[in-house]
Amino acid sequence: MIKKIVLVAVFFIFNNANSQNKIIDTTKYKIVYNLIYQQDSTNIASKREEKMLLLVGENYSLFQSENSRFNDSLVNYYTQSTKLDEQTALNTMLSVKKKSRFNFKIRKSPNTMLAFDKIFSDKFIYKDEEKLNWKILNETKQINNYLCQKATTHFGGRDYVAWFTSKIPINDGPYKFRGLPGLIIKIQDTKKQYVFELLSLKKYNSSFSFDVKGIQMVTKKAYFKAYNDFKNNFIEQLEQRGITFDKSNANQVNQSIRKRRNNEIEID
């Protein structure tokens, strides 16, 4: 029920937005990674998988969940359709939308990185100016038919091991990882709680956009404060938005949300 309420809010936000302030780029490559992630840091059985998408354009790249991108396309299509009334469009979207654990989008250019995320109907953008300090090692191995070289770094409170190939001259990778002399084929933190691995790469003649209209520009610190407030006070956050909830099991719901989200990819 909560997911339905949130999607209704998102539908009306999109329905009332226009297409101005969009950053549009021509897509050159479509790269798909498989992400294995551990939701609960105390429970290895809480590992899940999701496909993640990196679109590499002429000037920018865009990274997000494959299912999240599909859902964005659904919203755009049905809110712009003149053949369906709002309720019918909403019901149709609810019936075909795909489940995604990740709402974020990351837009990278040579000089800047912008991260977009939403908490309920609140949308945020922040600049991430943290520079990755890579250590490139001599060790190599074959991964997915690519000869890869090893590199290590520290980011977001985790130590990472990456494998990249200079045979693909794209200095990018999944999530916020980039800056190696070639495409990152695989990267994982040393506890193996977040593991990205290349599934496919193909040339792709299309385009993608990044709409910044009506989105709050905040600091990274402010965004994570808002996110932690949501995670730690889920029921209160619902009530602040006018959504009523049965308080008889409020503590149980709050504890469940915190447990399922106690192991984010960035932990500091």
**Could you tell me the pLDDT band of residue 262, with boundaries at 50, 70 and 90?**
confident
Q: What is the mean pLDDT of residues 42-70?
A: 92
**Could you tell me the pLDDT band of residue 155, with boundaries at 50, 70 and 90?**
very high
Q: Quick check: is 224 in a domain?
A: yes
Pairing status of strand 61-65 against strand 22-38: unpaired
Sheet with 158-165, strands from edge to edge, namely 135-143, 146-155, 158-165, 183-189, 194-211, 22-38, 47-57, 61-65, 105-108, 113-119, 122-127, 216-218
Same structural domain, 11 and 100? yes
Q: What is the mean pLDDT of residues 174-197?
A: 98
For 17-28, the pLDDT digits (tens) are 333 356 788 889
Residue 76's domain comprises 2-126+205-260
**Could you tell me the pLDDT band of residue 85, with boundaries at 50, 70 and 90?**
low
Q: Quick check: is 196 in a domain?
A: no
For 239-255, the pLDDT digits (tens) are 777 777 666 776 777 67
Same structural domain, 93 and 218? yes
Q: Quick check: is 266 in a domain?
A: no
Same structural domain, 117 and 142? no
Same structural domain, 108 and 222? yes
Same structural domain, 32 and 101? yes
Q: Quick check: is 219 in a domain?
A: yes
Same structural domain, 143 and 121? no
Domain count, the chain: 2
Q: Quick check: is 142 in a domain?
A: yes
Q: DSSP per residue over 33-74, as a string? A: EEEEEESSTT-GGGEEEEEEEEEEESS-EEEEEHHHHHHHHH
